[in-house]
């Protein structure tokens, strides 16, 4: 695998776990009073966005890795 998909896989995994850590550390369990803006809510939201963003990051890394494998296979079949 080339460097770019490897970095994206690492980034996606790191974002997934760090996002969950932020969600659990925030201690936010939903505020029914409508008070928007507490720091724990912001940490919870950022952590959740990191978890959601990690999934497409890993998928993109897989697609890039697959296309790199296909390209190298096509080069080998043409040269051999």
From residue 50, give the alpha-carbon distance in Å to each of 11, 19, 65, 73, 77. Answer: 11, 5, 22, 34, 41
d(CA 10, CA 14): 6
From residue 10, give the alpha-carbon distance in Å to each of 5, 52, 62, 74. Answer: 9, 15, 12, 27
Closest to 44 (Cα-Cα) out of 29, 26, 21: 26
Q: What is the pLDDT of residues 6-53, one digit of tens each?
A: 898 999 999 999 999 999 998 876 655 656 667 888 889 999 999 999
Q: Where exactly are the structural domains of the chain?
A: 3-26+37-79
pTM over 0.75: no
């Amino acid at each position: 695998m080339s460097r770019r998909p490897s970095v994206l896989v690492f980034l996606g995994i790191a974002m997934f776990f760090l996002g969950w850590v932020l969600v659990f550390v925030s201690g936010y369990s939903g505020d029914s009073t409508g008070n928007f803006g507490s720091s724990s809510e912001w940490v919870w939201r950022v952590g959740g966005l990191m978890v959601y963003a990690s999934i497409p990051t890993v998928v993109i890394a897989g697609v890039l890795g697959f296309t790199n494998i296909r390209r190298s296979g096509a080069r080998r079949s043409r040269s051999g």
